Structure 1
Amino acid sequence: MITAMRAVCPGSFDPMTLGHVDVVRRAAAMFDEVVVAVAVNPAKQGLFTVDERRDLIAGAVGDLPNVTTAAFSGLLVDWCREQGVGVIAKGLRSDTDYAYELPMAQMNRHLTGVDTVFLTADPAHTFVSSSLVKEVARGGGDVSAFLTPAVLDALRTKLG
């Protein structure tokens, strides 16, 4: 049985930014349980392993008793059906995110009945992405305003 009181916040989280943290915290206030699900894509090589990402996520939102982490591969909606998750919670930074996410949300609903809830990003995070954070950090820029201290330390360690 799928219950709407259980939600998933999916993503690659490579690494988890404060924008991600904000979305997870807001979803945790809305739903009884939130699973932060890390996408496993064998075709993509992340900077952090899936286990490292899950550990960093747990560190960033571990104070929320109703939030757990998981990993998934394949179609998210299949994982949702298997896990009894009825809602996908996604953050939107811009109209570009909306244009990308809306058809996916409609397809997910068509395939399995799983609904998507969009949470608009805090304006302080609308320009931040994991990819941009990594690019700036690789170039020696200061990304401390966009990451938790633990994620920042892990990123610096990875990048040397």
Structure 2
Amino acid sequence: RPGEGLSLADAGPLLLASEASLAQLDAWTPDDVPPLDIVRFRPNVVVDGDAPFAEDAWTRVRIGGVRFRFGEVCDRCVMTTIDPETLARGKEPIRTLAKHRKWDGATWFGVRLIPELDGAGASASAHRIAIGDEVEVEVG
């Protein structure tokens, strides 16, 4: 939203990616391409348990006790084509995303979330999320 500042983030403070969406992307990629690691997308949060790309329609998410609102679907850059372990460059996943997830001149994977923090006096621990936290979503 206008007037909302970001610190150390390019377009949103949190990037969420889905294992189901990654599995669908892997199913779309050519057989000679090894399965992609979700790390290529550099998400802060990885979830599973919903349909592929269901996250595109989420309006709010609660992770543990912290609520987030949907920011936008994340447009992907060529950094995803660099293997973070070996630094080898390739054409995936951008090539496959361009066939299945391209609109408005960009390729899309993952969603940006914005925390809905309550009160300046709340402790930092009240705003922490952790591996294994329950995730609840609101749609539309």
Same structural fold, with TM-score higher than 0.5 when normalized by the shorter chain: no
Give the TM-score normalised by structure 1: 0.28
- Which of the pair is proportionally richer in helix? 1
Give the TM-score normalised by structure 2: 0.31
